[in-house]
Structure 1
Amino acid sequence: MLTNKQKRFLRSKSHPIQPIFQVGKAGVNENMITQINEALEVRELIKVSILQNCMEDKDSITAEMVEGTKAHVVQVIGSTIILYKKSVNNPKLQLPN
């Protein structure tokens, strides 16, 4: 579980990052979860954009992603989800205590 201090730190680090995944009409599937997991291993911090034609609400999409990837939700703002998961092989971000 992330503390508020850690979430603030991660939000500041995520500001310049562009979304690298988009959730559309098909919603979240196993292939997307696998790709998000791989991206989290490399980058640790990613943004996911939810398109307007998506039938599911952002809360259920976020829950599916967290369940599938075991990542932490940093923030859900508008139609953008910010996820963090510490890299096993190559940790880059040092979270504050």
Structure 2
Amino acid sequence: MLTSKQRAYLRSLAVKEDTILMVGKGGLSGEIAAQADSALEKRELIKGRVLPDSCPVSSREAAEALARGTGSEVVQVIGSKFVLYRRKKKDAKIVLPR
């Protein structure tokens, strides 16, 4: 579980990140979860977006479902965008404040 200080630190890092995960009319398929899992393993912090016109789920629902499926944590959800974080098992690049 992330503290509010850690969450704020991760939000500040996420500002510079590009959106790499798009959830569209296919919803939360296994393919999207696999992409998120792979991206989290490489980057630790990813930004995703729900296409509001075509996606059957909200950005909050998508972020929480992906977090459950990938073992990550939801850092923030704003509008149609969300940020997920999962610490790497080896060679973690992001050092969280205590």
TM > 0.5: yes
Query: Which segments of 5 or more consecutive residues in structure 2 lack a partner in the other structure?
Result: none
Equivalent residue for 1:48?
48
Using structure 1 for the length normalisation, give the TM-score.
0.94
Partner Cα separation in structure 2 for residue 82 and residue 60 of structure 1: 13
In the other structure, the counterpart of 2:72 is 71
Give the TM-score normalised by structure 2. 0.93
Does the 8 Å contact 1:44/1:87 carry over to 2?
yes
- In structure 2, what is the Cα distance between the partners aligned to 1:42 and 1:71? 13
Q: Which runs of 5+ in 1 are unaligned?
A: none
Partner of 1:27: 27
Residues matched between the structures, number:
97
Q: Which runs of 4+ in 1 moved over 3 A?
A: none
Q: Please give the alpha-carbon distance, in whole angstroms, between the structure 2 residues aligned to 1:63 and 1:12.
A: 20
Give yes or no for the alignment of 1:12 onto 2:12: yes
